[in-house]
């Protein structure tokens, strides 16, 4: 159901790449304490009606959805090529049951839920920033404390993982193995970092050597995954500067070197039941950003280190998500494996140029369509036409 991640080097540094899925669909796990709005947000994103009751562990097994989001560039590309339809890009979201304090020790089916988290590529950590007497809660609204409860559970699980690896490696190091001795030294530093309450993703950020990167990858540490903290707020989201709970969560997120976002999951879910016209009228009346969900998904896309390129013909124009640093031949394989195998060349023009033209012929005549080889690195907004032989 899920994917695992691995690391590789690119011209821009370390990037996430998909290990198992041929389609390269990376997944965002939606996590948080019970009753903070995880399933409500999932319903808003997926336009599905999964259980979202106000009691703990309403969700046991993860719900998954492939969620499309709008790529506005397709409107213009469709006109240029007179395409029959436009196909937007998509990201997978996984609704994971609420974690509780002590999850790393098995509390609240914790080990099962932590295993679900280990299989996603990044995390949307939903934090309650609203007040509702009807919601079952363990206490007052305190976003920073609530967020830290989950983060410390992930860290505790990572310490356990590091300890197990250390015990195994230390025995080899004592026998005189130099590589094992070097590994134990790294493990000791990582454990010290974790025991200070810091996630692994902040360990020597941007300064890790290849050995450290490989070791951390091999451990599949939960706190290494990128995180966006999502404040689920009351109706006053649109005066977010007045929301003290949101401010506290934003400050906490920055302290963990992570992004943050605010949304009213309940309103977003309820407006899904309206027609597009009714939804637009409702959001205009209350001054709600019509594209809030789309903005959130794009933030998740960036967190996954994804970029989008476009293709088109008379049948359809389409947006494709790939990991930043992907070559033209690998991007061709995203479309079809035969294209990668028989890759000859790619004709490429970036959106910043393409948007100024009404037809591809003029772009060619003015020399704006560049011929690139298999090792060309695809950029965000590239329009790509692949030449290949079967």
Which uninterrupted H or E stretch holds 80? helix 73-81
Mean pLDDT for 84-110 is: 75
> Does residue 239 surpass a pLDDT of 70?
no
Fold of 306-388: Ubiquitin-like (UB roll) (3.10.20)
Greater model confidence, 5 or 351: 351
Q: Are strands 259-263 and 122-129 parallel, antiparallel or unpaired?
A: unpaired
Q: How far is CA 226 from CA 104, 121, 191, 199, in A?
A: 19, 8, 19, 10
Instruction: Give the tens place of pLDDT for each residue, 305-362.
Output: 999 999 999 999 999 999 999 999 999 999 999 999 999 999 999 999 999 999 889 9
DSSP 226-283: -EEEEEEE-GGGGGGGG-HHHHHHHHHHHHTT-EEEEE-HHHHHHHTTS-HHHHHHHH
Query: Residues 183-222: pLDDT tens digits?
Result: 999 999 999 999 999 999 999 988 999 999 999 999 999 9
Are the folds of 27-59+96-303 and 306-388 the same? no
CATH C-level class of 27-59+96-303: alpha beta
Give percent of the chain above pLDDT 90.
Answer: 63
User: Tens digit of pLDDT for each residue in 117-130?
Assistant: 888 999 999 999 87
- Element of type H or E holding 158: helix 143-174
- Sorting pLDDT into bands at 50, 70 and 90, what band is 115? confident
Q: What is the largest CA-CA distance in the chain?
A: 72
pTM, entire model = 0.84
Q: 26-53 burial, b if ≥16 CB within 10 A, otherwise e?
A: bbbbbbbbbbbbbbbbbbbbbeeeeebe
Domain boundaries, the chain: 27-59+96-303, 306-388
**Phi first, then psi: what are they for 290, rounded to 5°?**
-65, -30
Has residue 274 got a pLDDT over 90? no
């Amino acid at each position: 159901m899920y994917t695992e991640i691995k690391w590789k080097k690119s011209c821009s540094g370390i990037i996430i790449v998909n290990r198992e899925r041929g389609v390269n669909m990376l997944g965002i796990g939606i996590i948080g304490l019970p009753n903070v709005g995880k399933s409500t947000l999932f319903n808003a994103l997926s336009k599905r009606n999964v259980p979202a009751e106000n009691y703990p562990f309403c969700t046991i097994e993860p719900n998954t959805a492939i969620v499309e989001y709008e790529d506005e560039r397709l409107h213009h590309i469709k006109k240029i090529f007179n395409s029959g339809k436009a196909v937007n890009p998509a990201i997978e979201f996984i609704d994971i049951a609420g974690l509780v304090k002590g999850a790393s020790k098995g509390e609240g089916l914790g080990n099962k839920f932590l295993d679900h988290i280990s299989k996603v590529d990044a995390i949307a950590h939903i934090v309650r920033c609203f007040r509702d007497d009807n919601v079952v809660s363990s206490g007052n609204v305190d976003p920073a404390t609530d967020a830290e409860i989950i983060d410390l559970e992930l860290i505790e699980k990572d310490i356990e993982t590091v300890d197990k690896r250390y015990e195994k490696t230390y025995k080899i190091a004592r026998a005189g193995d130099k590589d094992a001795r070097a590994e134990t030294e790294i493990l000791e530093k990582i454990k010290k970092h974790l025991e200070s309450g810091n996630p692994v993703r902040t360990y020597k950020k941007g300064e890790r050597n290849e050995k450290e990167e490989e070791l951390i990858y091999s451990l599949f540490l939960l706190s290494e995954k990128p995180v966006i903290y999502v404040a689920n707020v009351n109706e006053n989201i649109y005066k977010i500067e007045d929301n003290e709970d949101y401010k506290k969560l934003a400050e906490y997120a920055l302290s963990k070197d992570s992004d943050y976002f605010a949304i009213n999951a309940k309103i977003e879910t309820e407006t899904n039941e309206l027609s597009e016209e009714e939804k637009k009228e409702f959001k205009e009346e209350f001054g709600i950003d019509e594209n809030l969900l789309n903005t959130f998904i794009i933030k998740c896309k960036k967190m996954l280190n994804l970029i989008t390129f476009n293709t088109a013909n008379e049948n359809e124009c389409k947006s494709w998500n790939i990991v930043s640093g992907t070559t033209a031949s690998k991007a061709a394989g995203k479309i079809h494996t035969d294209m990668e195998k028989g890759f000859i060349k790619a004709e490429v023009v970036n959106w910043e140029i393409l948007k100024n033209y009404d037809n591809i012929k003029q772009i060619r005549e003015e020399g704006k369509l560049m011929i690139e080889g298999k090792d060309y690195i695809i950029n965000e907004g590239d329009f790509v036409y692949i030449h290949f032989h079967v």
